[in-house]
Amino acid sequence: MDGSAGNTVSQRPRYGAGRTARGSALRRTTVRLGTGSALAALVMGAGMTAAHAATDPTLGYDTGADKGSLYNVAEVVGAHDAYRKGLTGKGVGVALIDTGVAAVPGLTSGNVVNGPDLSFDSQVPGLAHLDGFGHGTHLASIIAGRDAAGTPSSYLDATRFDGIAPDATLVNVKVGATDGAVDVTQVIAGIDWVVEHGQDNGLNIRVINLAYGTDSTQASTVDPLAYAVENAWKHGIVVVVAGGNDGESTKTLADPARDPHVLAVGAMDDAGTVSPSDDTVPDWSTRGTTSRHVDVVAPGVSVLGLRVPGGTCDSENPQARVGDRFARASGTSQATAVVSGEVALILQQYPYLTPDQVKQLVMNTASGISSTLPIFGGSGLVNLNALLSNPISALLKTVGGLLNSLLGPAWSSGNGSLEAARGSFHVSDGTSDLQGETDIYGNAWNPYAWTRQTSGSYVWNQGDWRGEQMAGTWWQSGAWPTAVWTGTDWSGASWTADPWTASTWHASTWHASTWHASTWHGVGWY
């Protein structure tokens, strides 16, 4: 993805030749204090290396010594403690609104469900639901990957490959195409779909993973993307959003992470140890302001997730490959996927919690990297062990505190500009960029009608979103079918004309940045 043109590329993290991340990360070293002592008692690193001193031949890496392995990430964040309590995410749905999910081993054991494909790929035979880009698959594997369904205790086996919530139901809501192309209207449509269909077929979607964001500076009090995520929040869905990877040049979170109501996630580098003393926040993890910064952080450096062989990210980043199946990637996207898995584990134990309560719990119990520098690390690393082991009544705020949190930040009216929500990121059909108060079908954006319809859960009508057919009409064989888009796009081209292929979509400035697509790199742990 570093091959893409565009003025935002320089803002993204790179670990290429001549640059190591170590130096920059150390400049922002922040030590977690005190509260992590119970976790700190179990230190990985040398001991784990001795216990697993060989590359696992079936995985291609050493699950103990390779500090980005999901086994190690699960240990650091306390997911293993959850498994010991029998919590694996079972019965909790996580909607991954992203670039699709490839059916690679590790994501074929029965816990991945295809929701609608709202991406431009859906008009290309053979690409629907799949992930030609490689971003969604990597995150899916972090959230709920597993080679086979197991018992809770089996997920403690270091020779397995498992995501953070291996029994969660991963619902693939594809909005990004093979080259990453996506318009904000497709993301909004995907969020709207989850609100209206999250309880279909026993999916029980309680979490949205949104590792997407634009550089819009529109106030969240009017921004339509902010309205969409808040609407999901009000419908009982915890929206977990990547803060962005532009920390070296940007001091505000991406949109919609900037929205104060969602759970915004930054990346941290745990250095492969449970001990907090060596934890850092990398420079590229977007910092915020004193009034709005990430809420929590999670491991997001050199995370070993599943690759899509031959996909866009894979082809452009061969150095990131590990063995036949995996790739290392760094970003707030990866950290967001870790937190989505954590929230699934929490909601399995406490299904009655509201999104506001979940957010309070994860922040109140976090092991703060950040008592000194919250604009970098928020409340710190989510402490699952503390959260799942203590009486919930002792952890939740009082009624007064709840009221404060509910009444504090203003909610979005949704009546702002769709174009402003895009920031500088625009898709192109080869003729013109999509700009203005217009959706991908060339239909005028009417914020007043949309906010009324989506808050009332009727902006989707079977396969139609805002009156335009965007997906098939109903579940068929456990998946949501695609539909051929009729009519024309914003520049007047026919959606059914031959030229609509994934390659038509120009990879300009938006794709890597909007997906917080992070860095796919070959250096090991640094």
Q: Which is nearer to Ca ion, 134 or 272 (CB)?
A: 272
At closest approach, how far in Å is the CB of 276 from Ca ion?
A: 6
Binding mask 303-342 for Ca ion (x = CB under 5 A): ----------------------------------------
Please tell me the count of residues contacting Ca ion according to CB under 5 A. Answer: 6
d(CA 313, CA 512): 10
Strand, helix or coil at 489? Answer: coil
Ordered DSSP codes for 43-69: --SHHHHHHT-S--TTTSS-TTT-TTS
Report the residue number, 59 or 271, with the smaller CB distance to Ca ion.
Answer: 271
Distance of CA 112 to the CA centre of its chain: 16
Nearer to Ca ion by C-beta: 285 or 504? 285
Q: Based on the residue annotation, tell me whether 393 is a catalytic residue of this protein.
A: no
Smallest gap from residue 364 Cβ to Ca ion (A): 21
**For the chain, how many residues are written?**
526
Give the type of residue at 433.
D
Q: Tell me the pairing of strands 519-520 and 326-330.
A: antiparallel
Tell me the residue nearest to Ca ion as measured from the CB. 273
CA distance 46 to 277: 15
Specify the residue, 278 or 464, whose C-beta has the smaller distance to Ca ion: 278
For the CB of residue 380, give the shortest distance to Ca ion in the complex, in Å: 12
What are the backbone dihedrals phi and psi of residue 19, each rounded to the nearest 5 degrees, phi first?
-140, 130
Q: How far apart are CA 116 and CA 186, in angstroms?
A: 11
Query: For the window 245-284, what string marks contact with Ca ion as x by the rule CB under 5 A?
Result: -------------------------xx-x-x--xx-----
Q: Does 367 bind Ca ion (CB under 5 A)?
A: no
Q: Distance between CA atoms of 391 and 475, rounded to whole angstroms?
A: 40
Other beta carbons within 10 angstroms of residue 154's beta carbon come to 15
Q: Is 135 a catalytic residue?
A: yes
Most distant CA pair in the chain, distance? 63
**Shortest reach from residue 39's CB to Ca ion, in Å:** 9
Does residue 405 carry a catalytic annotation?
A: no
CB of 153: closest distance to Ca ion in angstroms?
25
Structure-token match 């504090």, residue found:
408
Which member of 129, 135, 138, 261 is catalytic? 135
Nearer to Ca ion, 278 or 433 (CB): 278
Q: Taking the complex as a whole, how short is the minimal distance between the CB of residue 45 and Ca ion, in angstroms? A: 9
> Could you tell me where the beta strands, DSSP code E, fall in 315-388?
321-322, 326-330
The residue annotated as part of the active site, out of 4, 122, 220, 333, is 333
Q: Give the dihedral sign, CA 499/418/231/141.
A: positive
Task: Identify which of 163, 199, 161, 19 has the alpha carbon closest to the alpha carbon of residue 88.
Answer: 163
Residues at the interface with Ca ion (CB under 5 A): 270-271, 273, 275, 278-279
Catalytic residues: 98, 135, 333
